[in-house]
Structure formats: C-alpha cells, structure tokens
Amino acid sequence: MSVMNKHYDVVVVGGGNAALCAAISAAEHGAQVLILEGAPKTYRGGNSRHTRNFRCMHNSPMEVLTGRYDEEEYFQDLLKVTKGKTDETLARLAIRGTEASYRWMQKHGVHFQPSLSGTLSLSRTNAFFMGGGKSLVNAYYRAAEDLGVDVLYEAEVTHLERQDNVIVSVEFTYNRYRERLTPKAVVVASGGFQADLDWLARAWGPAAQNFLIRGTPYNRGVVLRDLLDQGTEQVGDPTQCHAVAIDGRAPKFDGGIVTRLDCVPFSIVVNENAERFYDEGEDVWPKRYAIWGRLVAAQPNQVGHVIIDSKSINLFMPSVFPPITAESIEELASKMDLDPAALRATVDEFNSACVGGDFHPTELDGLSTEGLTPAKTNWARPLDSPPYYGYSLRTGVTFTYLGLKVDGNAKVQSTQGPLDNLWAAGEIMAGSILGEGYLAGFGMTIGTVFGRIAGEEAAGYATH
Amino acid sequence: MQPIEVVNLQTHVEPGRSQAVEEARRQFQICNACRYCESYCSVFPALHRQRELEDGELQQLANLCHNCRACHYACQYTAPHEFALNVPAALAEVRQQVWQENASPKWLARLFHRSGAAIAAVTSLAFALLLWLAQGLSGGDGVGFYAVVPHNIMVALFLPAFILPLISVAVGLRRYWRSIGGTRITLRHLHAAMGAVSTMKNLAAGHGDGCNFEDEDRFSHKRRLYHQATMYGFLLCFAATSAGTILHYALNLPAPYNLFSVPKLLGLSGGILLCIGTLGLAYLKTKADPNLSAQRVWGGEMGFILLLFSVSSTGLLLYAFANGDWLPELLALHLGTVLAFFVLIPFSKMVHGFYRLAALIRDEQMKADG
C-alpha cells in the first residue's frame, strides 16, 4: 500500500463532513493529510450523507437565507432545545463561525439553495445543500483530492496509541491487514456510537435492540470507546440518544430522511393493544417528532400504529412506503395485526369525544376532544371516512450524546490536561455543545466550524 | 420480541403493465419523500407537484429527463442501499419504451434502438444503391453534383425519404401528447420550452456548473457543449439545404454555389460543428457509466452518433474534393449517409429531440396550471 510508505503530518479518522472540513483545512495550511474512512466509497460520508442543511447566523439577508438570524437569537434557540445543557463559550464559537463558513463551504464546491418544498419554516435559519448532504460530501472529497489529500476507504481505525499526552500511532485494518501509521497529529471525526446496538442496549436497556438507526451503520464508536478507555475526558449523557418516531417499515440502518412520517397530528396513535397512549395533537409535528421517538420506545415491543382516514391522507408530505389501506376499522386492524374489536372500541371512544369545530391543518386549531384520556388537544376529528389508512411507528435513532471534551481549539482534553496532538470535530465532540435535544442543521454547524478549526490547529502543530 | 419487518421494495408488476414504468414509479415514491434533488432539473419539481403518478405522467417525466445524472451521484439511496435507486437508468428505460411503442413499425424501432450494427448496415446498403444509381444514370445535363446524380433523381429520392419519416414521427408524437394529457400549445409555452432547448438548461444543473456524465460526480460542461455543437451544427446544415432549395426553386439559382454563398457558409460551419459535437459526444459516451442509462440501446445510440458524424464528415470531404476524381464515390457516400439518417429518424435516437421538446412544452403547461 503506497500510503504506508508516505509520511503524513495529519491523519484524519472518519470521512464525513467534520472529517472532510478538517482534512481540507489542514491541507490548505500546508499539511500532508490522509483520511481513514471506515466505510466503502459508496457509503462514504457518515451521517452527513443524510443531512440537508446548515444552520447559519446572518445579520442581514444572505443569498438563500432570508431576513436576519443573529448570534443571540441562534444561541437562545440552542438554549431552548438543550434546556441549558450547553457550553456557552463553545456554542458561541460555533455560532459565530457559521457566517464565514458559509463562504468557505461555497468555495469548496458546496451549492446552497432556498429551503426545500415543505420546509418553509427553515428558510430564514437554514441554508439547504443543493442535492443534499451526499452532494456536499462529494464536493468535499473532490476538493480534498485536488489539494493532494489521500483517502483510504474501508480503513477501520481500531486504536490510537497514547503515551503521556501524545498520540504516537494510529492502528487500523485495511484489506484485512493490520496497519500502523505514526503521523505528527491526529484529528478524530468518526461520529458517535449509535450503530452499535449492543452498546445502545447497555446504555438504554434491552428495548434499544428494537430501535431503527436512521443513519450510517459505520458509526460504531470504536475510536470514541478507545479514547475514553485511555483517560480522555467525556461529555454528554452516556445513556442518551436523540431519537424520533419514524415509519416502522424503514430499513434497520440508513433509512434517512424518507422514513419520516408526518401524519401523527391528524391521527390517533395506538400501541400493540390498540390503546392510545399520548396526545397526538399536542403541537405541530416538527416540534413533537422527537418526543414520539421516546413515547414509542416506552410501548410494548417499541412499536406504535398510526390510524387516519381519507380526510387526512393529503395533508402531509408523501411517505416512502404506501399506507396499509382498508374500508373498515376492523379490516385495517386485522391487516395491522391489531385486535379488531379493541381498535373499534378505541376509535369509537375517540370519535364520540370529538366535538367538532373549525379544522386548520397548518396551525394549532384547538379542536380538542372532551372527556377523553389521554386527550387530543388539536386537530381532533372523528375517524369516520373510509378508506382508512394505517402506518406503523418505530423509534429511529439519529445520534448519541456521549463524546470527547474539547476546548475552543477543538483540542481533546484528558483528565491530565489537553493532549498535545489530538483534535476532535463533529458528532464525536458535539456533546460538548449539544447536551440535550436537537436544532435542525446544528450538527453540520458543529462539524463544519470545529472541523475547520481542528484541521488548521493540527496542521499548525504538525508543520512547525 | 417481534422482528422488524422490512418491506420488500422489489417492483411487483401486474400482467399487462410495463416493468419499466412500475420500476420508475417505485423509485419516484422514494424521491417524492426525499426531495433533496428538487433544484437540479425540471423533473423533480414536476414530480413533487403530484402525490400519485399516472403512467402518462411517468412517461412525461422520463422524457423531461436529460440524463445529466446529478440526482444519481447526490443520492443517498443508490445501491448497495436496499432502496437501490437509479433514477437515470429507470427513466431512460421508460423513455426508450415510449419511443419504441409510439414508432411504427415498432419492430423496426426496437431493432435500431438496440443495434447500432443495423444502422451501419442500412447506411451501407443505401450508399451502395446510390453508387449504383450514380453510375447508371450519370452523364446527364447537370453540372457539379448534378452531373453525377441528376437533380430530379435526388429530389425523387430525398423528398419521400424526408417527408415519410417526419410523418411517422408526427403520428407517434401525437399519440404521446395524448397519453401525457397535453393541451393546446400557446406561444408562451413554446417560447419557454425553446429557451430551455437553446441553452440546454437541464444539462447545467440548478447551480449552472454542468452535469455529471464522464467523470462520476465531477460537474462538467463538456456534454452540454458537445450536444449544442451537434444540435446547432445540425440546424445549420439543415438551413444550408433549405437555403439551397430556395435558391434553386425560388430564385432559379441551381448549385454549384461558391464558397461565399449562403448555402456553403451555413453548410461549412454546420458541418464542422457537427463533426466536433458528434466526436465529442461519442468520446464522452465511452467514459460515462453505462449502468446509468438504458444499457441495451448503448450500441444504437453510439451508432446514431457515428451516423451523424458520417453525414457531416462526408459532407465536408465533398466540399474539399468537389473537383476531384473521387467525386462520384464521395457524393454517393455522403448522400447515402444522409438518406440513411433521414430514413432512420423515427427509429433512432433522433426522436429524442422531438419527444424532449414535447416534454418541455408540456412541463411549461403543467407549471402554468400549478
């Protein structure tokens, strides 16, 4: 293998957005760089393949971004979703870094476009990638190659050898051989551990085996575990993951964006026993799809069933799988493996609690049930217009919170102070900033801003 | 514990339905839930306007697709992902089917789309016949080319060879227009569609950096440029012939024309452009991933490009050696390729231009309807 005979200033572990930003940035600051991507070329890019936008501050309208979204508003949004579990210094650093990053991204081949159809609510805050995250990843690989960065695919890093405060070697498998490199500096950007179901089950409980993983099967947290075992400081709740409710028929891994199901507010959702368990109309779906991941996870066998009727079938974004369709509630129940009599009883009880009034699908309309537990507080209309449609719901894991603690230079901290030549970017350190919840497009913010910082710092260290 | 069921996303085809159409429908259901490619070309906004797609609407989207492949390289669901999206190939198959099913006779279309060899064979036969005619009937009263093949013979040969294929295309297009639900065409629709054709807007991607064709996901304008050289070259040659016809019949100025005449200037520039364009397209085709197109017609498409190149290169040779000893053979060769080209219009890749224009016009109508 030719790269084994070369000497690298910087080895970047991982191949997604943060890794690529680090590699490009390091190369532009004069370093000889190697990317070790664990996935094959067709699956390169980690979870960035599935992303679609970048949350970006701007003090006045900026190309595809409308209006104004200043640092303070951005930070307040972050405070809201994290309930204060954030490091303000790092968070503000990430937020302030977005404006310049927007241009940097363009310069390296990323094309922005106005928000996609059905995402108007994000047109002010988020810049969408034309073609989505994989097109961004493709552009960055091209930019990296043009800068002379080497890339190895299917190169799985197994161990970073630490002596005192220095990483002395990077061990990985490639072509079934064990290899070892001794670069001057290392950037780890290899994501979280959500694809390791056993780890998830240890952290969350056995129910996690029934979760679906929305992103790449290659984020197994091997390097994260290895570094935590060697005394690097950890951040983020190790038992938590960000999960949403998605179509239960989605693939076990990598279902991505299309597995979302937006019809819950117009439905009733029942569990395996055909019983309702939560207010489906509590708020608009983008504000509630995350809590439904947890609600479904708490139900028997971690599954839910969404029932709507013909009145609602065109009120939400098309789903990737066609709904189960039936002319009666009983028929739908048997097609969905539910007890027909029990579902009939649940629907009847719900229908008789609906009081009627004006229905507004796009806003909180206050159309609430009366005398029903749990209540449905908006969009409550009886299910009485066949055909009836059913979808199943499962918990889909997006990312994990456990990570490495870094400082403002993206340098990895150990219990004995910062490591001399190890930097981290992206999901592997995101727990430093995002302690809870999620903000659309913020993962790409952290990856881009800290990826650039990590690359520049690593190159500076390695070339001086 | 209940196992997680994974829906089988294989295409199920009911008897009498098209496998190609059903596969495109399956893929588009996934696209419609994703929408990341919305800004690349005209296909995706048209797709997202609907929730369910009729067969005719799928055929329309297939003809709207210019096979720029940007959506494919940007796609998170291509194989080995179990969704196995390959939108360029799926649409190419539907397109191919539309062209073949609407051509008459169908068997001839199937043969030529599939087989570039067949195109070559017909070409050879045609020019062999011409050679023979030229030898048998020459020595007339004409000058220049007409000394070799008399003008009346040319007209008798080319007029039906030109008109009949066009009638055949028109019949097929009319059938297509009905199947996609086309309505009355206004000047505004036509103007917008022609605008898209004149710049090949759909081969530029939404960001204007070109398409993904010859070098995986790297954007390039090469295919767009070569295509436009081919298209404008062809139109210039056509204009040259039209100018000659007008000079001959309206102004009573029969050929030969000198270098600075309208037919010669148009023909010369058109011929050069056509040569460059077709060679470029043929080269790019050898570089592009065949899995992202209708593979069974690769040969037919290549045959068509090379036929166009033969038309233009033999035409240029005629200009260069109009006074040489090989004039009868060169003329026969050129006229043979031209004849083959015309006869093959309804059955070769040439129909793509007519169908794509129709699709672009229909897209304008759909946009106006909202």
Over 80: is that where the pLDDT of B255 sits?
A: no
The reported pTM is 0.93
pLDDT for A184? 98
B31 pLDDT above the threshold of 90 = yes
CB proximity list for A226: less than 8 A, separation 6 or greater: A158, A159, A160
More reliable by pLDDT, A119 or A164: A164
Q: What is the pLDDT of residues B284-294, one digit of tens each?
A: 999 999 999 99
Extract the tokens encoding B141: 């009263």
How much is the mean pLDDT over chain B?
87
| SS3 (DSSP) at B211 | strand
Query: Where residue B74 falls among pLDDT bands split at 50, 70, 90?
Result: very high
| pLDDT confidence tier of residue B2, bands split at 50, 70 and 90 | very low
- If one compares A350 and B150, the residue with the highest pLDDT of the two is A350
- What's the pLDDT band for B234 if we cut at 50, 70, 90? very high
3-class SS letters over chain A: CHHHHCCCCEEEECCCHHHHHHHHHHHHCCCCEEEECCCCHHHCCHHHHHCCEEECCECCCECCECCCECHHHHHHHHHHHHCCCCCHHHHHHHHHHHHHHHHHHHHCCCCEECCCCCCHHHCCCEEEECCCHHHHHHHHHHHHHHCCCEEECCCEEEEEEEECCEEEEEEEEECCEEEEECCCEEEECCCCCCCCHHHHHHHHCHHHHHCEECCCCCCCCHHHHHHHHCCECEECCCCCEEEEEEECCCCCECCHHHHECCCHHHCEEECCCCCECCCCCCCCHHHHHHHHHHHHHCCHHHEEEEEEECCCCCCCCCCCCCCEEECCHHHHHHHCCCCHHHHHHHHHHHHHHECCCCCCCCCCCCCCECCCCCCCCCCCCCCCCCCEEEEEEEEEEEEECCEECECCCCEEEECCEEEEEEEECCHHHHCCCCCCCCCCCHHHHHHHHHHHHHHHHHHHHHCC
A108 CB within 8 Å of a chain B CB: no
C-alpha dihedral, B133 to B138 to B144 to B145, nearest 10°: -10
Mutation site, B1, B4, B11, interface A, largest A CB count within 10 A: B4
pLDDT (0 to 100) of residue B127 = 67
Higher pLDDT, B9 or A392: A392
Instruction: Tell me the chain B residues in contact with residue A321 when contact means C-beta distances shorter than 8 Å.
Output: 7
Q: How far apart are CA A430 and CA B303, in angstroms?
A: 56
ipTM: 0.94
- The beta-carbon neighbor of A258 closest among B30, B40, B206 is B30
Q: Return the pLDDT at B6.
A: 39
| pLDDT score of B344 | 86
Confidence of residue B3 (pLDDT cuts 50, 70, 90): very low
What one-character-per-residue DSSP string does B225-249 give? Answer: HHHHHHHHHHHHHHHHHHHHHHHHH
B38, B70, B82: residue with CB nearest A117: B38
Q: Which one is predicted more confidently, A400 or B9?
A: A400
Report whether A23 contacts A144 (CB < 8 A).
Answer: yes
Q: Is the pLDDT of residue A446 over 80?
A: yes
For residue A156, the cross-strand partners are A173
Looking at residue B201, its amino acid is: K
Is any Cβ of chain B less than 8 angstroms from the Cβ of A113? Answer: yes
pLDDT of residue A117: 77
Supply the mean pLDDT for chain A. Answer: 95
Question: In this complex, do A320 and B81 lie within 8 Å of one another by their Cβ atoms?
Answer: no
Cβ contacts of A111 on chain B, cutoff 8 Å: 206-207, 209
B118-174 pLDDT, tens digit per residue, is: 776 676 677 667 766 766 655 555 667 777 677 777 788 778 888 999 999 999 999
Q: What is the mean pLDDT of residues B58-78?
A: 97
Distance from CA of A460 to the nearest CA of B (A): 30
Range in A261-275, A290-304, B316-330 with the lowest mean pLDDT: B316-330
Whether B329 shows a pLDDT value over 90: the answer reads no
Residues of B in CB contact (< 8 Å) with A are: 1-2, 4-7, 29-30, 32-40, 48, 51, 70-71, 73-83, 205-207, 209, 217-218
> Residue A309 has which token pair?
């009727």
Percent share of chain A, pLDDT over 70: 100
pLDDT score at A170: 98
**What pLDDT score does B8 carry?**
43
Over residues A393-411, mean pLDDT: 96
Taking residues B307-311, report their average pLDDT: 92
CA A351 to chain CA mean position, Å: 37
pLDDT of A1 over the 90 cut: no
pLDDT at A254 (0 to 100): 96
Average pLDDT in the B34-45 region? 95
Can you tell me the mean pLDDT for B65-81?
A: 97
